[in-house]
Structure 1
Amino acid sequence: MSDHRPAGDPAGLRARWRGRRVTVAGLGVSGVPAARALRDLGAEVTVVNDGDDERARTQAAELDGTGVTVRLGDGATLPEGTELVVTAPGWGPGKPLFAAAAEAGVPVWGDVELAWQLRGPDAAPWLVVTGTNGKTTTVRMLAAILRAAGLRTEAVGNIGVSLLDAVLPDEDGREKYDVLAVELSSYQLHWAPSPRAHSAAVLNIAPDHLDWHGSMAAYTAAKGRAYEGNTVACVYNAADKATEDLVREADVVEGCRAVGFTLGTPGPSQLGVVEGILVDRAFVENRAAQAQELAEVADVNPPAPHNIANALAAAALARAYGVPARAVRDGLRAFRPDPHRIEHVTDIAGVAYVDDSKATNTHATEASLAAYDPIVWIAGGLAKGASFDELVARSAGRLRGAVLIGRDRALIAEALARHAPHVPVVDLDRTDTGAMPAAVRAAARLAETGDTVLLAPACASMDMFVNYNKRGEAFAEAVRALAAEHA
C-alpha cells in the first residue's frame, strides 16, 4: 500500500504517527491494511496473532519486506513499549492482550476508530447503518441511491471496500468520495468511541453475539453508538421500540432530528408506505400536510416486507443527505441484492425455491418466513444458544412442512412439536454437506403447487459448511439438479 498523503501532509498525520509504537491485534481483512497504513505513516508496527496456521502465515507473508514485525501464535502478550493497540473487530473485550493494555494505560482502537482518526481535513461524511439484520442490504441500497444522485460513493466498513482505503486520499491528496455508506457491526462500534456520523440508522435490535458482548444491554449499547454525535438525522425503526429508545438516549448535535420508518402509513417525520408507494413525510417543507412520493414497492428487489423496511431506511439516510426523490427511485431500481439473501433460485412444478442462507439467526428467519405463504421450511445448523419457540409460534400458520438438518436441529424440532404440531417434519439425521440434496428432495415431496421451499436456517452454518455462502450454493445446486430431472 502506497503512502496516499501528499508531500505537504496537510492533516499532519506523518508528524503525529512517526515513530509511534503500535500493536495491531489480528491479521485478516482489517489487520493487514491497518498495519500497512500505519507503517506508511512512519509508525513502528508489530502485528500479533493467536493463530499460526497456513492462513495466518499467508497473511503474514503479505507484510514481508514492509518493515512490519509479525508475531504468530502469540496474541496474548503486549509487546514492550506499545503506545496503542489497534484490534481486528472480532477480537472480544475479554482477550488477555486488552487486559494487559488496560493495566499499562494503553488505549485500544478498532479499525473503524483508526479510519476515523486518519481522515483528511476534507473527508467525506459518513452515513452509517447498523442493526441486527439487514445492514448489508441497506447499505448497498444506500450506495446505489447516492450513485443515482451523481455522488462519488462506496459501500464500506463491514462490507466491500476497506474503510481505511476509503478515507485515505489518493496519490494527489484528493478525497476519493463525496460521501460514504458505512456498515458497522456491533463489534466495530464497541471499539470505535470517536466516529460522528452525518446521519445513522439502527434498523432493528434482537439478541445476537451475546457471548461476545456479555449481555443484551452491552450489545444494544454498542449499536446505540451509531447515533452518538449525529448532526442531521437519527433514523429508527418505528416497529422496534428499542431503536427509538436509543435515539432518545443519544447525545447528538443540536438540531439533529429523529426520523422513523414504517411499513404502514407514515406520520410526520417518518417514511412509510401508502397504497404501494414509498413516501417521505420527513424531508419535505410541510411535514404535517405534505408527502413526497419516492418509489413504488415494486421498485424494491425483492419486495418482501423486511426488504421494503431496508429500502425505507436507506431512503431516509439518502434524503437526510439531500438526495432528490428521483434518485431514490432510480437507485432502488438499479440495486441488485447479494447472493443468498431471499434469492429466488427457480420454480419447479409450480413450487418456488428460495435461498436465504444468510438468515443465520431467528430474527432474520422470522422476517424471511413472513415474506411467503405457504412454506416448506429447510432449517437447522449451529443454534448459537438461540431459542426457537417464539419464531415457530409466530410463523406456524405459514408452514406446510419442515425439513431439518444440522447439529442443533433437535431444538427446532422440539419447538415445532410444541407450537406447530400439525406441521409434518422430516428430520435428516446427518450433518455432512451431502445432506442438502436430500433436504431439497424431502422438501419437494412435502410441497404443493403455489408453495415456497425456503432455506432460512435460523442457525449458523459451520457445523456443515465453511460459511453461509457455501450452504446457499449447495442448496441452489441441489435445486438446479432437481429442476434438470423435471425438464
Structure 2
Amino acid sequence: MGEPTDTVWAQRSALVLGAGESGLACAEWLARLGAKVRLADSRPLAGVSPPPGVDAEFGLGHPMPERLLSACDVLVLSPGLSPHPDRVHSVSHLVEVAHARDIPILGELDLFEEALQSLGSGAYGSPTRESDEPELALARPAVLAVTGTNGKTTTVKLTAHLLESVGLDVQIAGNVSPSMLRALMDRLDARRLPQVWVLELSSFQLASALRFTPTASVILNLTEDHLDWHRSMEDYRASKLRVYGLPLPVGLALVYRDDAQLEAAVRAHLARHSQRPVETISFGLSPCRESELGFGLYADGLEWMVRQMPTGDADPSAQQSRLTRLMPSAAMRLQGRHNLLNAMAALGLAQAVTDDLAGMLHGLRTYLGEPHRLQSIAAADGIEFVDDSKGTNVGATVAALEGDAVPVAIIVGGDGKGQSFAPLFEALQRRNAIVVGIGRDGPLIVEGARQRGLHAEMAEDMAGAVSIGFAALRARVGEGRGQLLLSPACASLDMFQNYAHRATVFAQAVSALLEREGVQA
C-alpha cells in the first residue's frame, strides 16, 4: 500500500513555509509524491533536519524574503503563520505576492483531503482487516472533525476511545499531534489504514482550507482566542464554521445549543451554504427542543445523560420525541460540567460511524481524561491541587471555575493573546476566588480582580504563586476543604517552554510546598 499516485505533483515546485510538525510533514509528503520541495523558516532551527529530498533554508528572519517564491508554483502554509498583516508571525507579504502571481495557497488539511480522495476505496477496501471487525458502509474512511475554543483534545481522544471500545481501528491526528500527513505516512508505511480518522482542527488549519468533506463535525464552543492571529472575532468564527465542510457543508453537523449566538451562526451558515438540508444533532446541558434529535440532561431524582430522537411520524404536527436514558451523569469519571458536553459531542460524532451505543457507553464510563486538564495532582489536609495548565484562554478557565463549588485559589496569567478578560472576572467574582497572578498579563488580571473586591496578589514565579495561593486559601478555610487551581487563561511562552512545562513546574512547586510545610499528601 503506497502513496497515492499523482503525476501532477511530480511536475510541480512547492514552497512550504514553517518547519514545525505540520510543515515538516507537508514537505515530506510532497517530496514522496515527487514534487520539488523547498522548506523555509524564519527561525534558525539548528536541531531540525529537513526530510529526505527536501531543500531547506532556515534562519531567514522576519519578514521572510520574497525571493522564496521565485521558482514555486504552489505555496503551502504552516498553520502557525498568519496570512493577515500586522498579526503575530504574519507572512501576509508573501501571501499577497502569491495571489498576484496566481500561485495556489494550500494547507495541510487540503493535502490530507486530496490524499484520502486519491487513495480512494481501493486502499480502504484492501484485505488487511480481520473479518470479525465492525464493517463501515463507506467507500472511504470516516472522518470526524472537532474544533472549538476549548475541549478539542478531550473530545477527540474521547471520541477515539469510544470507537476503539467497539473494536474500530481509529487514528487521531491534526492539532492534537501527530499531524494529519505524518499519521497518514506512518499508516501507509505500516500498510494498515484506519477505519476512522478523528481530527482536531484549529482555526489556523481551517482558515485557508479549500476542500474538506467530513463525515461528521462539531464546533464545541466559541469564545475569544487567537486574536493575535485572526483579524477579528468575526474572522475567528468564520474560520471555525469551515469545519462543517468545504466548499459546502456536508455530513452530520453537531450544534451546541446552549450558546444561542453560536447556534444561530452555525444554523445560518448551514442554511446559506448548503445545496440540500444538512442533518444536525444538537447537544447541551439544557433540554432538547421538542422533536429535535439531540443529547442533553434529564433529572428525575437522579441526573441522566439522555438522547432524544423523533418518533419518525410522517405528520410533523403529530411528531413526538422518544427520550433514552444513557447513563447517570455522575457515572462519568471525567470531572466538570463542561466534560458532560464533551461526552455528548463525542457520542454524537461516534454515532455517525457505529450504532453500538452500549459499547460506547461502557467506553465512556472508563475514560479518565487528559493530562493538564483539571487533573488532580495532590491533596493534603483538605486542600486539593489541580493542574489545568491546558486552560490557555479565558473560556477554558471559566469552564474550570464552574466545576467544584469549594473555596478556590486560582493561579492565572501569562500571555493573554489580546483576549478580553471580562468573562474571567465575572467567573472569579461568582466563585469569590482568591487570585494569584503570574506572567506578562498577570498584573492586568490582578488589578481587575481587585477592582471587583477580590483578594488578589501578584507572584514573581510559580513557586511563589503556589505559596501565596496556599497561604491565602488556608487562612480562608481553616481546616475545611479548598482547591488550589492552576488554570492560567493565558498562553505559557512568556515564562515556560509550553503548557506541559508550566504544569511540570507547578507540580514541582506543589511538592516543594508540601515538603516544606510538613504536610502529608
SS at match of 2:70: coil
Q: In 2, distance between residues paired with 1:472 and 1:173?
A: 34
Q: In 2, distance between residues paired with 1:32 and 1:172?
A: 17
AA matched with 2:108: D
Aligned residues with identical type, % of pairs = 32
Equivalent of residue 117 in structure 1, options 84, 109, 114: 114
Partner of 1:133: 150
Instruction: Report the TM-score, using the length of structure 1 for normalisation.
Output: 0.90
Instruction: Verify the 8 A CA contact 2:287 2:296 in the aligned structure 1.
Output: yes
Q: CA deviation at 1:272?
A: 0.6
Asked whether 1:70 is paired with 2:56, we answer: yes
Partner of 1:240: 259
Q: CA RMSD for the aligned pairs?
A: 2.3
Q: In 2, distance between residues paired with 1:140 and 1:331?
A: 12
Deviations along 1:388-437, one digit per CA (max 9) or x if unpaired, are: 23322243131242222222222112221232x1x322332x2x454344
Asked whether 1:38 is paired with 2:30, we answer: yes
Cα distance change, pair 396–171 in 1 and its aligned pair in 2 (3 A): closer
Aligned residue pair count: 469
Equivalent of residue 414 in structure 1, options 438, 447, 463: 447
Q: CA deviation at 1:350?
A: 0.9
Deviations along 1:319-365, one digit per CA (max 9) or x if unpaired, are: 23233221331222232322110011121111221111111211111
Equivalent of residue 490 in structure 2, options 459, 462, 485: 459
SS at match of 1:442: helix
Q: In 1, distance between residues paired with 2:306 and 2:20?
A: 42
Instruction: Verify the 8 A CA contact 1:295 1:328 in the aligned structure 2.
Output: no
Instruction: Verify the 8 A CA contact 2:144 2:216 in the aligned structure 1.
Output: yes
Segments of structure 1 that go 5 or more residues without pairing to the other structure are none
Asked whether 1:92 is paired with 2:90, we answer: no
Q: CA deviation at 1:255?
A: 4.5
SS at match of 2:11: coil
Q: In 2, distance between residues paired with 1:225 and 1:171?
A: 28
Cα distance change, pair 177–299 in 1 and its aligned pair in 2 (3 A): farther
Partner of 1:57: 46
AA matched with 1:101: A
Cα distance change, pair 173–406 in 1 and its aligned pair in 2 (3 A): closer
Q: CA deviation at 1:447?
A: 4.8
Q: CA deviation at 1:62?
A: 4.1
Instruction: Verify the 8 A CA contact 1:376 1:403 in the aligned structure 2.
Output: yes
Instruction: Verify the 8 A CA contact 1:278 1:297 in the aligned structure 2.
Output: yes
Partner of 1:259: 281
Cα distance change, pair 390–42 in 1 and its aligned pair in 2 (3 A): closer
Q: In 1, distance between residues paired with 2:325 and 2:228?
A: 43
Partner of 2:129: none
Cα distance change, pair 273–71 in 1 and its aligned pair in 2 (3 A): same
Q: In 1, distance between residues paired with 2:486 and 2:462?
A: 15
Q: In 2, distance between residues paired with 1:378 and 1:285?
A: 51
Cα distance change, pair 33–386 in 1 and its aligned pair in 2 (3 A): closer
Which deviates further from its counterpart, 87-96 or 224-233? 224-233
Q: In 2, distance between residues paired with 1:289 and 1:334?
A: 29
Partner of 2:126: none
Q: In 1, distance between residues paired with 2:72 and 2:488?
A: 44
Cα distance change, pair 391–172 in 1 and its aligned pair in 2 (3 A): closer
Instruction: Verify the 8 A CA contact 2:309 2:322 in the aligned structure 1.
Output: no
Asked whether 1:339 is paired with 2:380, we answer: no
Asked whether 1:103 is paired with 2:100, we answer: yes
Segments of structure 2 that go 5 or more residues without pairing to the other structure are 85-90, 122-139, 314-318
Partner of 2:392: 360
Asked whether 1:281 is paired with 2:311, we answer: no
Which deviates further from its counterpart, 454-463 or 388-397? 388-397
Which deviates further from its counterpart, 124-133 or 236-245? 236-245
Q: In 1, distance between residues paired with 2:310 and 2:176?
A: 28
Cα distance change, pair 106–281 in 1 and its aligned pair in 2 (3 A): same
Equivalent of residue 427 in structure 1, options 455, 458, 466: 458
Q: In 1, distance between residues paired with 2:81 and 2:41?
A: 10
Partner of 1:272: 296
Instruction: Verify the 8 A CA contact 1:403 1:442 in the aligned structure 2.
Output: no
Q: In 1, distance between residues paired with 2:334 and 2:475?
A: 25
SS at match of 1:462: coil
Deviations along 1:48-73, one digit per CA (max 9) or x if unpaired, are: 11112xxx2321x243xx22111123
Cα distance change, pair 305–151 in 1 and its aligned pair in 2 (3 A): same
Instruction: Report the TM-score, using the length of structure 2 for normalisation.
Output: 0.84
